[in-house]
Amino acid sequence: MSLMSPNGRPITVRPIARAEPDRIVLRCWPERDVLDRLFAEQGTIGMAAWEGDQCVGLLHCYHIVLPEGMGWQSTWGANRWCGEPDNPTDYVFTDRLRWGPGETKLDLTGAVWCHACCHVGRTLEAEAVSDDPDPRYFGRGIGTALCEASITWAREHDYAAVLARGVPHGLRELAVWAGALPWTTYIRLGFTEVTAACPDDELPLWARGDCPPEVWAEIEAARAAGRPEHEFREHLMVLDLHRRVETARPRG
């Protein structure tokens, strides 16, 4: 299915090239020196959707290496998944995965491709006006297309699997703010959940009010409608590509 912009123009999705960071919104991405290192190690830093010369969607990607769960010199990407001792965050899955040789619940060995922030409608034009994305680009399949392009990249570069963080479905304000897709989207793309949340798992901070007002209003409305508490937990999704690579990272 072809993607069309709200202006009736075709949208193309492809890996981000080394010369393109100045053409995309780097709002929540790491410093440029880290991006340069990731380009050198990975060949790209993720996927981008383009309407002509304008970037209208982004998926930031990086690798980690299993079973250790570490990436290139434990850079920003690896720390986001594996945790930083002095700065733990509630969206890191360290405790549930127990990274380390013989401890990870993922039966995988080698380089794994990971999805970080996914933002649709964050254009340089919109950023010049406010911090809000352009909502005209929502609901056009751009986020799914970015994920599909990323999966293709991972297959072509011999990754063992793709890991992704899925947020609860049906909460658009949360997904936009968190820069993540619903876990149900990943299910449709062939992913499975690594490990289901237990009833006593602590809710993420955003589900306890540490989020923008519009996100909290959405969460409260869902609770008032009877949505159970366990549906306000994030999901770690995995797509096993049935490859077992022994090297730390194949070059892009």
Q: Where are the domains of the chain?
A: 3-199+235-240
Helix or strand or coil: residue 145? Answer: helix
pLDDT of res. 196: 64
Helix then strand then coil, % of the chain, to nearest 5: 35, 20, 45
Confidence of residue 128 (pLDDT cuts 50, 70, 90): confident
Low-confidence winner among 4-8, 149-153, 188-192, 222-226 (lowest mean pLDDT): 4-8
Structural contact between residues 134 and 128, judged by C-beta atoms closer than 8 angstroms: no
- Stretch 106-126: mean pLDDT: 84
- Amino acid letter for position 128: A
pLDDT of res. 184: 93
Tally of CB atoms within 10 A around 93: 21
* CATH topology classification for 3-199+235-240: Aminopeptidase (3.40.630)
